[in-house]
Chains A and B, each alone.
Chain A
Amino acid sequence: MATTTPNYGWSVPTSTDYVAQGAVAIETLGDSVDAFVATAFNSKLRPGLVLIKSQTISSGVSSVSITDVFNTNFDAYKIIFTGITTGGAVGNNLQFGTSNTGYYANNLSVAGYSSSGTANFSGTNNGSSLALGMVSTTAPNATGGSVEVQNPFAATTTTWQLHGSDPRTAGVGLRIESGFHNVATSYTSLTLFIAGTTYTGGRVSVYGYSKD
Chain B
Amino acid sequence: MANPLIQIDDEVREMTDEEYAEYLISCDGAESIDGE
A interface residues with partner B (beta carbon < 8 Å): 55, 57-58, 60-67, 89-91, 93, 95, 98, 100-101, 105, 109, 122-124, 127-129, 131, 133-136, 164, 166, 171-172, 175, 193, 195-196, 198
**Could you pull out 21 A-B pairs where Cβ atoms are within 8 angstroms?**
A61-B12, A62-B5, A62-B6, A62-B23, A63-B7, A65-B7, A91-B30, A93-B30, A100-B25, A100-B29, A109-B36, A127-B29, A127-B30, A128-B27, A128-B28, A128-B30, A136-B35, A136-B36, A171-B36, A198-B4, A198-B5
Partner among B6, B25, B31 whose Cβ is within 8 Å of the Cβ of A91? B31
Range of interface residues on B (Cβ < 8 Å): 20 to 34
Q: How many A-B residue pairs have CB under 8 A?
A: 102
With a cutoff of 8 Å between Cβ atoms, the chain A residues found around residue B19 in the complex are: 63
Q: Bits for B1-36, please: 1 = Cβ < 8 Å to A, else 0.
A: 000111111101001000100110111111111111
CB–CB B7/A61 < 8 A: yes
With a cutoff of 8 Å between Cβ atoms, the chain B residues found around residue A195 in the complex are: 26-27, 30
Kindly report which residue of chain A lies nearest to residue B5, judged by CB atoms.
A61
Shortest C-beta distance, B3 to chain A (Å), equals 9
- How far, in angstroms, from A166 to B36 measured CA to CA in the complex? 6
With a cutoff of 8 Å between Cβ atoms, the chain B residues found around residue A63 in the complex are: 4-7, 15, 19, 23
